[in-house]
Chain A
């Protein structure tokens, strides 16, 4: 018998009111504004934009405030909001070769056109807590130096004069979109890249780390890492030409991996690719390593059974909103499910006890 249960409305309302009060915290401490989060917690904002798959720093900052700093909850809010927006179209692919770089480094080549630009990085800091930040800190101004305008070519492009690096020839296929069609296997590279760029940073990092530790031979060098802004261009149907509709910050990582060659490919360096919204360096490097590991089949490599080579495993478990949705639903009422399980276990117990009794009687 199915029994509908009602109740708890008042409890839920009061729980939400208390949540709002706890979110605010001690009222003798000044309230955090959305603009403060956007400006001062910008890497959290970037992560929410990347994994929420919606570039809008103000919305991401609002989501972080509403979620009390729980970034997966904030990403959930952004994903939910995203579904309410009509889609005006798709942009032309962004040209990362023309990025206005804040940061651009290569771990493989010291002297590269455009130079090694460190940008605002945590690298080379001592990871010591800075107690000056706890006091009212004065604002420091970043030093400036005259910039030499000039192209900042991709490392792989100028290296490729020798033909030692696998090429990524231009192609104009319309990519599949997992926000429109469910993700199904086998997933081509375009679909894998879309899934990876919005994937959970922690999961992607762990998968990438596993390839470095030997689960899929994949010794990667960071050929290039760049962070900066690119314009977004879109063809406007009512105008009949393309205009820039905005400007976004991206992090791009290209790895080069040694490759012994296969039946179809000569020995060369192959490439892994990461491109992520915002300044999201750890995620972009992780994405590039996982992308490379997942390319084993198209490069004719062996499947050594490593988790990072298993597209189905990686792509179906990388989305933190799907994962948390399924995981967290088990805390919601399952009274009826559990009631039936309880009945089943009681019945099995009775049967076992009955057969034991019979057995005992028979032996007596």
Chain B
């Protein structure tokens, strides 16, 4: 669920559709856009304070077999929330392996690649201090 919450727009839907035809489902909670108050801590470690809100889309659905899928994803894309909830529900069915290899693992490797790229660009801007040799001896 965490991987799908952070995926770029449209990515979960695309991976799901490439993996298998979508099963029928009924809504327990139709996709809904709302906000979550993000908190920080004073001094990074102290008492919590309210930093500001972020947009979140959530939904819940049920497959014909009774498996329930939930989604909470960042942003305002209802189609992505639906796809994420379908994947969550399918993870409880025989399609779990397909979901893991065709949706979750690609998401994980894409996110880790993005993170590594930024870390490597950062590393290139790391300061290597050196001391100037003074001409005293």
- Please say whether chains A and B are actual partners in one complex: yes
Q: Please tell me if the beta carbons of B49 and A144 are within 8 angstroms of each other in the complex.
A: no
Residue-wise, chain B 104-137 has the 8 Å CB interface mask toward A (1 for contact) of 0000000000011111111111110100000000
Q: Please tell me if the beta carbons of A96 and B44 are within 8 angstroms of each other in the complex.
A: yes
Q: Please tell me if the beta carbons of B51 and A197 are within 8 angstroms of each other in the complex.
A: yes
- CB contact between B42 and one of A144, A157, A174, A189 (< 8 Å): that residue: A189
Known contacts A53-B53, A173-B48, A245-B56: A145-B41 contact under CB 8 Å: no
Q: Please tell me if the beta carbons of A190 and B73 are within 8 angstroms of each other in the complex.
A: no
Q: Please tell me if the beta carbons of A168 and B51 are within 8 angstroms of each other in the complex.
A: no
> Does any Cβ of A come within 8 Å of B55's Cβ?
yes
**CB neighbours of A96 from chain B (8 A):** 40-41, 44
Which residues of A does B touch, CB under 8 Å?
49-50, 53-56, 58-59, 82, 85-94, 96-97, 100-103, 110-111, 115-120, 142-149, 154, 156-157, 168-179, 189-191, 193-194, 197-198, 231-232, 234, 236, 238-239, 243-248, 250, 252, 254, 271, 273, 275, 277
- CB contact between A245 and one of B36, B39, B45, B50 (< 8 Å): that residue: B36
Q: Which of B1, B55, B122 has the most CB of A within 10 A?
A: B122
Q: Which of A148, A178, A194 has the most CB of B within 10 A?
A: A194
Known contacts A87-B36, A248-B38: A273-B51 contact under CB 8 Å: no
A53 to B41 Cα, complex, angstroms: 17
> Does any Cβ of A come within 8 Å of B23's Cβ?
no
Which 10 residue pairs are nearest across A and B when measured between Cβ atoms? Answer: A246-B74, A168-B43, A168-B46, A244-B2, A144-B120, A147-B119, A55-B54, A190-B49, A171-B47, A53-B52
* With A87-B35, A117-B127 already in contact, 16 other A-B pairs whose C-beta atoms are closer than 8 Å: A54-B35, A54-B55, A88-B58, A89-B37, A96-B41, A144-B117, A144-B121, A147-B116, A168-B47, A171-B47, A171-B48, A190-B47, A193-B49, A243-B72, A244-B5, A248-B38
The residues in B between 3 and 18 inclusive whose CB is less than 8 angstroms from any CB of A are: 5-6
> Does any Cβ of A come within 8 Å of B76's Cβ?
yes
A149 to B123 Cα, complex, angstroms: 10
Q: Please tell me if the beta carbons of A232 and B36 are within 8 angstroms of each other in the complex.
A: yes
Residue-wise, chain B 57-74 has the 8 Å CB interface mask toward A (1 for contact) of 010100000000010111
**CB neighbours of A244 from chain B (8 A):** 1-2, 5-6
